[in-house]
Chain A
């Protein structure tokens, strides 16, 4: 059985000394960046990509995956201690985590969050091991038409599921797609939107976009909030001990939301943030006394923390087995794969088992180290929150600039970074979500390529999208996820108009 050999190869890769060292570095950096309010997993991954240049791809990706789930894991700390979530996936954590900390039980809250995260993270890796290969073997038969439809579905799903206005999210996706058309067209060699500028011939690098729209835009928000003085009470977090009743209360939500979170993570467009909110609401509905939610409920804390970590592993399913990211964060992860010359997709499992299984297997180790970092060592780590904001801002800017410069050695890209930082900040101000932009940017080239392949096969006839049953089904889904929110919005408008 081929996949058993693959699994063994993967575990051998993941348990090599080098891989263990880099997974520790990954989760360590991830925890720190995830903890810092304002800086999310996308910035964390993008900032770390230049560090992987020249590394062995398997080891590098094991580290990058560690950065990703480490950031989600670490995000809970600032939610609980400061009521300032480090990542959006940890917003729901603050609903009950912060009240608990205010009652002097910060240590307990951190312990619950760490154990719930660990459980969610570990259970979901088991599920990932089961589902990813299954999906891979199905996806091998997908033709370009099906792939085109799948990517389109990914884009419309993220747009209709992002917070706020669906129209704005779709506009953001179209804009991301427009930016990727800049440069020489790969198939025809035609220059598009290069304005005769040599620097634009190869198009814009995705790190410029990722670091600009996220890291630099986040820096702008940090500049505005630099006087946030809520960091003072981090030294005394109280006992980390949990009693039997706490553990009993946690066991139910942890079991439920390991599965629910994982499934939500697999679906395109969802991801850690949505999973944590849905889990929180679900748990509250299920509870006999929903009144205690929001006032420091153990269940209300355990549910979203389990779910957001489970969703993170879930998000690796489409990324590893289809090569198609379902969220902004996994889009940047895909970028990390491509930078290292690895193309995720259905062939990855058989062609590069050391990467496919190595990344998955390393998550067990990563989660154990995260538990150590976030449980006994958390009082020391929480001190990171005391880094003066001005210094933090300068360092993030330098990291972003060096990351971009190290890929092209060209200051033109740095000006572009600044430009996209400004665009990202404006998008924040006017509530245009950035994840659809980055997802469209990453998928854009692949989308056009699969469209062309499909049309070449069919000799220019669009009927291929109707004949390919998988493609047709996915296209209908994409259309529905695109049309429904727009109709809902129109109906809302009419209701509002009727009220007025």
Chain B
């Protein structure tokens, strides 16, 4: 039944559309609006289902190059997850230990993790870049970034 990729993707999209529509039907109505808040969401949900059905029956139009993009070696998936993990760590630490430290650590370890082995250049970038950004934002643009445990 589910032979083509389009069919699989289409079913996932229909499921998303169904969830969205479920939400759309629970939007409370407001008596004085000519176009109420739920009109557009309902239309969009239905539209997505219709388009997904079209996709279900559509022949594969991808080029070889586009198909090749999905051949990701397992090791590379690990790399992507690793970078995502580092980003998560960054978000968690940003407001705790501050922008400068978090950013410096992130740049150094993320570059190292991705295979950059020039430690001196990496270290210099990791220190200078966050400092320049920090002072640019706080002094020139008057946007306060979390200073964290550093005294400035």
Q: Which residues of A contact B (CB under 8 A)?
A: 50-51, 53-54, 164-165, 167-168, 170-171, 174-175, 177-178, 181, 185, 187-193, 219-220, 223-224, 226-227, 388-391, 393-395, 397-398, 401-402, 405-406, 409, 411, 414-415, 418, 422, 425, 428-431, 448, 451-452, 455-456, 459-460, 486, 489, 492-493, 496
Contacts and interface: CB of A to CB of B under 8 A. Distances in A.
Contacts, number: 183
A181 B122 contact: no
Nearest to B112: A390
Nearest to A172: B51
B44 A178 contact: yes
Interface string B84-101: 100110111011000100
B7 to A, nearest CB: 13
B66 A390 contact: no
B11 interface: no
Interface in B61-114: 61-62, 66, 69-70, 72, 76, 79-80, 83-84, 87-88, 90-92, 94-95, 99, 103, 106-107, 110-114
A177 B40 CA distance: 9
Contacts of A388: 111, 116, 118, 121
**Mostly helix, strand, loop or mixed at chain A's interface?**
helix
Given A220-B80, A223-B79, A431-B62, A171 B51 contact: yes
Greatest chain A CB density within 10 A among B54, B66, B80 is at: B54
Given A181-B40, A455-B34, A193 B114 contact: no
Given A224-B72, A411-B92, 14 more contacts: A167-B58, A175-B48, A187-B35, A188-B33, A190-B27, A220-B83, A223-B80, A390-B112, A391-B116, A391-B121, A397-B87, A398-B129, A431-B62, A496-B59
A455 B35 contact: yes
B106 A397 contact: yes
Contact of B34 (A185, A223, A460): A460
B: interface residue count bin: 35 or more
Nearest to A452: B35
B110 to A, nearest CB: 4
Contacts of A415: 91
Contacts of B91: 401, 411, 414-415, 418
Interface of B: 5, 9, 13, 20, 23-24, 27-28, 30, 33-38, 40-41, 44-45, 47-48, 51-52, 54-55, 57-59, 61-62, 66, 69-70, 72, 76, 79-80, 83-84, 87-88, 90-92, 94-95, 99, 103, 106-107, 110-116, 118, 121-122, 125, 129-130, 133, 137, 141-145
Nearest 4 A/B pairs, CB to CB = A390-B114, A390-B116, A188-B30, A190-B37
Contact of A395 (B23, B107, B112): B107
Nearest to B130: A398
B33 A181 contact: no
A53 to B, nearest CB: 5
A103 B22 CA distance: 61
A171 B57 contact: no
B107 to A, nearest CB: 5
A192 B51 CA distance: 23
Nearest to B136: A51
A456 B34 contact: yes
Nearest to A398: B103
Given A190-B28, A224-B76, A226-B114, A174 B44 contact: yes
A332 to B, nearest CB: 20
Contact of B54 (A227, A431, A486): A486
Greatest chain A CB density within 10 A among B35, B48, B90 is at: B35
Given A167-B58, A224-B76, A429-B70, A178 B141 contact: no
Contact of A411 (B27, B28, B94, B142): B94
A225 to B, nearest CB: 10
B64 to A, nearest CB: 12
Contact of B9 (A405, A428, A430): A430
